[in-house]
Chains A and B, each alone.
Chain A
Amino acid sequence: MRDADLIIIGAGPAGMAAAATAAEGGAQLLLLDEQPRAGGQIYRDVGVNGDTRPFLGKDYAAGRPLVGALDAPGITAEFGATVWRIETGRRVVWSRDGISQVTTAHHVLLAGGAQERPVPFPGWTLPGVMPAGAAQILMKSAGLLPRDAVLAGSGPLLYLIAAQLIDAGAPPRALVETQTAGMMLGASRHLPRTLRAAPTLFKGLALIRKIRAAGVARHTGASGFKAVATENGDIEFGFTAKGRAHRLVTPLLLTHQGVVPATHMSRAAGVAHDWCEAQQSFRPKTDTWGGTDAPGLHIAGDGAGIGGAEAAQAAGRLAALDILHRLDLLGEEARDQKAAADRAALDRALAIRPFLDAAYPPPREFLAPEGDTIVCRCEEITATDIRRSLDEGANGPRQVKTATRAGMGPCQGRMCDLTVRGILAACGTPPSTPRARSPIKPVKLGELAALASYQETST
């Protein structure tokens, strides 16, 4: 006897869309999310914000129906629920308010989404340096607006945040971009395919026009990032662009180099992963329904490869249809028929990716940093420490971890896995996917002990 037909982990666009489709098809499901409210990061708090923050734009407001659709028979949603173990046999162990419990189901759908790619450079651990996406989360969830911020890095999210800040009356002081004219030129060979995603492309161009019209200073081809704290706690941000050294003083330096799949859960669940060169990230191997090599486990959305919110919704629905089929709630033909519209939507949403991946690649200085730049924020391990461990014979991520403690802190490598991989690759030994082990989030010993007695009484 299982507790549910399906457990969906993550209430972002993929998880919410999947939940609605699965419930509509007659499945009893449990939706778990670590955050206090539904929406994921892209639609963070969209259900409670109403129309109070119009500067966040129409694409953000578009998430509201997804949150509304969770109020359906068949869906039990639990928030503040941190999953820390997925067992074969489809047992999910999750914690809330210091109490862990086990839920079983016939199927599990991971919809854990993405995290921002770490952007390591000298000074990136200082108060006053944050990821740009983190600042956007504060705009959505707390109505906080970055004050005289400098946006630095690469990718469309920087344009969106700059435009949102302009609309909110708090324009950024400057936009400092790392991509070069050469990268844009190289990316233009993908434009014919991108024409299918013309609306997305036009949206991006409109954002750039808005930033220009607002008179925000803009630099491109920037490199050599460095941040130091001034006496009054501001950040002095140094970089080089077009052969000239620049210095900007700002209370808040917001960096960004795109997002990457959050793979701790899928790796710990034993799913096979590979390296995606175009997106410079690990990602789980999935079939066209989001199915994996782990029995009963599907993955949908950015956690299976970065595609954005619209792609995530389509992928979530596709996974849900396949799960309904496997639950004998939907015939194969009906599944394929219902899937047609979502497949088309997915193709359309993904059409712009090759262009974006090529136009806004993360520069080598962030992928494989050198010198005193901190790689592991938790344990404060530098690029030099990692490189020295390689010189001393460490031949992969596990030995680097043992030798240096990189990845042994509370974030469990979420902030340094990719950088350690980048340094290993730069030194000639690109490693296989590093392992992740349960518990994939820190759990107190007392909580584990309490779980043992829970299992004894419940079996």
Chain B
Amino acid sequence: MKPASRFLTRPDQVGVVHMTLDGEALTARPGDTVAAALLAHSGAASRQSVNGSSRTAFCMMGVCFDCLIEVDGQPNTQGCMTLVRDGMALRRQRGLRDIARSDADA
């Protein structure tokens, strides 16, 4: 089951950005960061730690690196520092990164 977002969204922004998360459609507001878009989308984990425990974005200011995510094939991108873009393909990371191999092939 997907936990509901832990946030209420305000109707003060217009427009919509279309992206994918692990291949599934995801919409966001223009000007949002990837991390904010994911937190608005659901309360579920957006990453698994080195030991496989669930994490979501944490500090929202580029300090903690808990928001790491694969963006358009680039792993370990800071979701809280990256603005959403139409067509962006996001993939959640699970555990440690392998060199030259992404979750898609794992």
Contact = CB atoms under 8 A, between A and B. Distances in A.
A415 interface: yes
A380 B66 CA distance: 12
Given A115-B63, A128-B43, A414-B63, A143 B54 contact: no
A305 interface: no
A379 B54 CA distance: 13
Contact of A130 (B58, B76, B81, B83): B58
Contact of A144 (B8, B54, B65): B8
B40 to A, nearest CB: 6
A410 B69 CA distance: 13
B3 interface: yes
A80 B10 contact: no
Contacts of B36: 138, 141-142, 144
Given A127-B55, A134-B60, A380-B53, A233 B44 contact: yes
Interface string B77-89: 0000101000000
Interface string A227-259: 000001110000000000000000110000000
Interface in B53-105: 53-66, 68, 76, 81, 83
Contacts of B68: 410
27 contacts: A35-B62, A36-B81, A41-B61, A53-B10, A125-B55, A130-B56, A130-B60, A135-B60, A142-B31, A142-B32, A142-B33, A143-B29, A144-B10, A144-B40, A146-B7, A149-B6, A232-B1, A232-B3, A233-B43, A233-B44, A251-B6, A252-B7, A377-B64, A378-B65, A380-B53, A409-B50, A415-B63
A116 interface: yes
Contacts of B3: 127, 232-234, 251
A53 B12 contact: yes
B27 interface: no
A455 interface: no
B11 to A, nearest CB: 9
Chain B's interface: helix, strand, loop or mixed, by majority? loop
B76 A410 contact: yes
B9 A144 contact: yes
Chain A's interface: helix, strand, loop or mixed, by majority? loop
Given A137-B61, A414-B63, 6 more contacts: A41-B61, A52-B12, A126-B54, A144-B8, A262-B63, A411-B64
B45 interface: yes
A385 interface: no
A143 B13 contact: yes
A146 B7 CA distance: 5
Interface in A259-297: 262
Interface string A121-134: 00001111011011
B58 A147 contact: no
Top 9 A-B residue pairs of the complex, sorted by shortest distance between their CB atoms: A233-B3, A142-B36, A144-B7, A143-B10, A134-B60, A410-B65, A251-B6, A127-B56, A252-B6
A115 to B, nearest CB: 5
Given A48-B31, A262-B63, A409-B65, A251 B4 contact: yes
Contacts, number: 130
Contacts of A409: 50, 65
Contact of A142 (B1, B29, B53): B29
Contact of A134 (B4, B61, B65): B61
A145 B6 contact: no
A131 B81 contact: no
Interface of B: 1, 3-10, 12-13, 29, 31-33, 36-37, 39-40, 43-45, 49-51, 53-66, 68, 76, 81, 83
Interface residues of A, number: 48
Contact of B49 (A134, A135, A137, A380): A380
A34 interface: yes
A170 interface: yes
Nearest to A115: B63
A192 interface: no
Contacts of A146: 6-8
A442 interface: yes
Given A142-B40, A378-B50, A147 B55 contact: no
Contacts of B63: 115, 262, 411, 414-415
B39 A138 contact: yes
